Amino acid sequence: MIQGLGKETTEIPAFGHDITEVRAMGKLAWQKSIPDYLCFEALEAGTFTLSVPAVVAAGNLAYIEWSKDGRTWNRTVNDSSAHQIDVSVEQGDKVYWRGSGVRLSSSSASSGRQAVFSSTGEFNVSGHILSLLKGSDYDNMTGVGNITFPRIFENCTKMVSAEELVLPTSISGLNYAFYYAFYNCKALVAAPQFPSDVAAYCYFGMYRSCISLTQAPALPAQTLVQNCYSQLFYACSSLNYIKCLATDISAADCLTNWVDGVASVGRFVKTANAAFPSGKSGIPTNWLIYEDGGARLPIQYKETQYTTNTTTANLNLGHEFNTRKGKLEVKFRAPVVNGMVLQTTMSKANKFWLYNYLNVGAGGKLAIYVNDADNVQRGLTTLYSPLDTDWHEVRYEGLNGSEKVYHNGTLKGTSTFDLVESGSGNLVLFGNTTHLVADCAYYREWDADDNLVCDLVPCVRVSDSVAGFFDLVSLTFMASNNGTTTFDAGPEI
């Protein structure tokens, strides 16, 4: 007997695991620990099917069992004839799978010579895939053969997530282990993590045509082998992020066509000294390249301390700023009269300026101006006077009628006049017209819903030494686009 919740409860054996009967809220409930078997969770009603062709002999797969509760199991013994296991489910049902064998194939990766799953309804998959061969002993790799799970989920167009699927901790020697395993899983949005080693053809075409997959699982293997990643992400048209830490890619065809047909723009993370070719058998053309643990900008750009405008170089940010609800932060120095930091493109209600203006008798002041609801120019606050060469950090917060301005962390002003909510024209960094020099160390902006819409980092484009900003939000480079000259770069960081 087991003590639980202040009463004795009954211990019931079930495949070596205890089920504890507890009473809570006047209802009978069961609490038990189910091993981490392969599990399908139904996201809608449908039928799970496992098809085992006759060529998968008993010597490869002895039996398969399934259960909806982890206690009562239904066994199908493999007698070298074809078998089809159908399990009807409702939304929220879970089906557990376990078995005994060496592999789920006939020692061939060719189509039609392996056991495969399918489903008529959407589902997620989790748990240890090796439970199909090792039952609850899924951490034990002894006796597991190569060509292990080829095509196991091929054409499972209703699979949504396999993020919590657990692959073997090592697949060394398991050639063809996951050959075409998720081929044409069109709804798949999350993939399982890979082990740290590879085998010949182990992941060949594994995610081919997974058109909903946007981010690849991390690829930690350092030394690649023959065809291990060939066609891995072939025709994954939405894929835009890959982290591959391989340093030795000399093996024959290890990357052949592995990114053919991925998204036209994306991010690729690699080890600092790894040398990949460019194109469908290397790093996708036009993707940004980052070094693992390195700088926050891709290697195509070098971060600088600041970017400097000239008298006719400006940057139109391409969107309006809502002075009533938006927020922005900028770090700059503008040591001259009419050194413009920010300005909107239109003379209308909600116009916005941040600049050094001429103040007769005092030399100059840095101030924020806005137009009120009647299109009357209003000085929101003066930040400092007289002019200086110091760096200044300004934060503006549109707060529905009580707009605030902070200078170097100190509240400097609050509006007492009404601002309209309509847009104020595109914001232009360094001003919309001809102005004198100012330096900018960063610019960030949030929309009315507090979403970060741009985060500009000063930098130089390596390919042509053009100075500008890299936007960490849109992952795009911005050079002067609103004048007749280019920006100047500050010192590299």
User: How would residue 322 be classed by pLDDT, with cut points 50, 70 and 90?
Assistant: confident
- What are the beta bridge partners of residue 283? 278
Q: Count of domains in the chain?
A: 2
Instruction: Say if 440 falls within a structural domain.
Output: yes
Identify the top-confidence range among 51-60, 437-446, 464-473: 464-473
The whole-number pLDDT of residue 438 equals 78
CB atoms within 10 A of CB 20: 17
Instruction: Say if 449 falls within a structural domain.
Output: yes
Q: What percent of the chain is predicted at pLDDT more than 70?
A: 77
The residue range of the domain holding 365 is 307-489
Give the least confident one: 303-312, 325-334, 364-373, 430-439.
Answer: 364-373
User: How would residue 426 be classed by pLDDT, with cut points 50, 70 and 90?
Assistant: confident
Determine the Cα–Cα distance for residues 268 and 276; give it in Å rounded to an integer.
11
Give the least confident one: 77-81, 265-269, 311-315.
Answer: 311-315
- Residues 324-335 have a mean pLDDT of 80
- Residues 31-53 have a mean pLDDT of 92
4 pLDDT above the threshold of 50:
no
- Which strand ranges, in their side-by-side order, compose the sheet holding 426-429? 315-320, 426-429, 340-344, 352-357, 365-371, 377-384
272 pLDDT above the threshold of 80:
yes
* Virtual torsion, Cα 143, 147, 149, 151, nearest 10 deg: -170
Contact indicator for 152, 56 with CB cutoff of 8 Å: no
27 pLDDT above the threshold of 50:
no
175 pLDDT above the threshold of 50:
yes
User: How would residue 24 be classed by pLDDT, with cut points 50, 70 and 90?
Assistant: very low
Q: Which residue has the tokens 């592999």?
A: 103
The whole-number pLDDT of residue 375 equals 53
Output the CA–CA distances (angstroms, integers) from residue 101 to 54, 65, 178, in the order listed.
Answer: 15, 12, 16
Instruction: Say if 230 falls within a structural domain.
Output: no
The whole-number pLDDT of residue 357 equals 43
E strand or H helix that includes residue 352? strand 352-357
- Residues 427-432 have a mean pLDDT of 72
Q: Which residue has the higher pLDDT, 266 or 334?
A: 266
Determine the Cα–Cα distance for residues 232 and 420; give it in Å rounded to an integer.
53
The whole-number pLDDT of residue 36 equals 96
Instruction: Say if 482 falls within a structural domain.
Output: yes
Work out the angle at residue 323's Cα, subtended by the Cα atoms of residues 317 and 325, and round it to the nearest 5 degrees: 105
Q: What is the 8-class DSSP label of residue 173? A: T
Instruction: Say if 391 falls within a structural domain.
Output: yes
Work out the angle at residue 260's Cα, subtended by the Cα atoms of residues 240 and 153, and round it to the nearest 5 degrees: 80
The whole-number pLDDT of residue 253 equals 98
Instruction: Say if 198 falls within a structural domain.
Output: no
- Residues 327-335 have a mean pLDDT of 81
Contact indicator for 158, 119 with CB cutoff of 8 Å: yes
Contact indicator for 373, 401 with CB cutoff of 8 Å: no
Name 407's Cβ contacts closer than 8 Å, sequence gap at least 6.
383, 384, 392, 393, 394
- Residues 245-261 have a mean pLDDT of 98
- What are the beta bridge partners of residue 54? none
117 pLDDT above the threshold of 50:
yes
Q: Which residue has the higher pLDDT, 193 or 11?
A: 193
Give the least confident one: 39-48, 356-365, 475-484.
Answer: 356-365
CATH label of the domain that carries residue 327: 2.60.120.200
The amino acid that residue 243 corresponds to is K
The whole-number pLDDT of residue 360 equals 37
Q: DSSP letter string over 1-62? A: -EEETTEEE-EEEETTEEEEEEEETTEEEEEE----BEEEEESSSEEEEEEE-TTS-TTTEE
Encoding tokens for residue 475? 């992952």
* pLDDT, tens only, 388-413: 577 888 888 877 666 777 878 888 76
Q: Which of 356, 320, 307 is nearest to 456 (CA)?
A: 307
Q: What percent of the chain is predicted at pLDDT more than 90?
A: 62
3 pLDDT above the threshold of 60:
no
Q: Which of 225, 40, 216, 206 is nearest to 109 (CA)?
A: 206
Instruction: Say if 412 falls within a structural domain.
Output: yes
10 pLDDT above the threshold of 60:
no
* pLDDT, tens only, 341-362: 666 554 444 455 564 443 333 3
Instruction: Say if 455 falls within a structural domain.
Output: yes
- Residues 441-461 have a mean pLDDT of 94
Give the least confident one: 137-146, 209-218, 476-485.
Answer: 476-485
